[in-house]
Amino acid sequence: MSARRIFTRPARLAAIAPYVWMALFFLVPFAFVVKISLSQAAIAQPPYMPVVMLADGWRGLVAAFGALSLDNFRLLASDDLYLLAGLRSLTVAATATALLLLIGYPVAYAMARLPRRWQPVAMTLVIVPFWTSFLIRVYAWINILQHDGLLNKILLALHVVSAPVVWLATDRAMYLGLVYSYLPFMILPLYATLARLDPALLEAAGDLGSSPRQAFWLVTVPLSLPGIGAGVLLCFIPIVGEFVIPDLLAGSDSMMVGQALWLEFFTNRDWPVASATAVLLLAILLLPLLVYDRFQRRQMRRS
């Protein structure tokens, strides 16, 4: 007990360096995003106005604040593009997350039912693709889905289709890419809760007269809700802001918020509007992020 308390102080000191680092490089930058989202675009380096100069003192600060404006947000609200991008991000993320749950659950369930010594092997096999490059995995699908790619060749050879099907640059391809890339994030938390499930509970349900199917829906699914919640959040939040997968696999007729931000920043070089888009994206994600934070904290307390 006393030894434990002695250890606490140096352990707290260990927080200093990572604390300062994360505050400086994660928290403070958000303040800049908000500030610049309220600034005007300018043809300058950096390409926005006003820039607050500490050397100008208090008067400069007041003047700078006076020059801040909500114009960028008015633009976002008036232009359909951003509203549609926001809606599309939410629907794409919801659909992809539902697909992930539908595909991930049976896999995680099967993993949890494997003999004990096979479970770590299955887990490693699910994790390994997560270690290989994200970009490479999307690129691998471009290879397969292109006009004269492997998929069309197989379908033609099997006479399933008579002419090559357009796969690339469609929403189908984007959903495939999303499900493929995020599957480990769904499977692992599901597996973690399903593996902890006490099989005696299912036996008890059976003894009390429920069929295996009933036992699954009445016992297994409710008890795996924490895993479902974790998996859904781990997939939904990043997918809302996804850029690479829709950019490379979906068509160019509609955009997600992440693509709109990228376009404003890299193509239009309009940093203030890009920042305003980032604020919009954060606003969309605020609620799921808060839920995620509570989830993490509860999990930490349990461990």
Partner 1 sequence: MTAAPLARVSRFNIAALALGLAFLYLPIVILVIYSFNASQLVTVWGGWSLRWYVEFFNDRAMLNATFMSLRVAAVSATLATVLGTLAAVALTRGEGFRGRTLFSGMLYAPLVMPEVITGLSLLLLFVALGAERGFWTVTVAHTTLTMCFVTVIVQSRLGALDRGLEEAAMDLGCDPLRAFLSVTLPLIAPAIAAGWMLAFTLSLDDLVIASFTTGPGATTLPIRIYSEVRLGVKPEINAICSLIVGSIAILIVAASMASKLSSGRGGNAAPM
* Interacting positions 241-280 with partner 1 (CB under 8 A): 241-244, 248, 258, 261-262, 265-266, 271, 274-275, 278
Which of 139, 160, 211, 251 is the binder for partner 1 (CB under 8 A)?
A: 139
Query: In angstroms, rounded to a whole number, what is the distance separating the alpha carbons of residues 86 and 241?
Result: 10
* Interacting positions 181-240 with partner 1 (CB under 8 A): 183-184, 187, 199-200, 203, 233-234, 237-238, 240
DSSP conformation letters of 211-243 = -HHHHIIIIIHHHTHHHHHHHHHHHHHHHHT--
Closest distance between partner 1 and the C-beta of residue 128, in Å? 6
Compute the half-sphere exposure of residue 125: CA atoms within 13 Å on the CB side of its CA. Answer: 8
Closest distance between partner 1 and the C-beta of residue 131, in Å? 5
Binding residue count for partner 1, defined by CB under 8 A: 101
Which of 77, 98, 125, 204 is the binder for partner 1 (CB under 8 A)?
A: 125
* Interacting positions 36-95 with partner 1 (CB under 8 A): 36, 46
Stretch that binds partner 1, among 62-70, 78-86, 218-226, 286-294 (CB under 8 A): 286-294
- Using only C-alpha atoms, the chain has a radius of gyration, in whole angstroms, of 25
Closest distance between partner 1 and the C-beta of residue 227, in Å? 16
Beta strands in the chain (DSSP E): 40-41, 48-49
Decide: is 298 part of the binding site for partner 1 (CB under 8 A): no
Residue whose tokens read 């693709």: 129
DSSP conformation letters of 118-146 = GHHHHHHHHHHHHHS-HHHHHHHHHHHHS
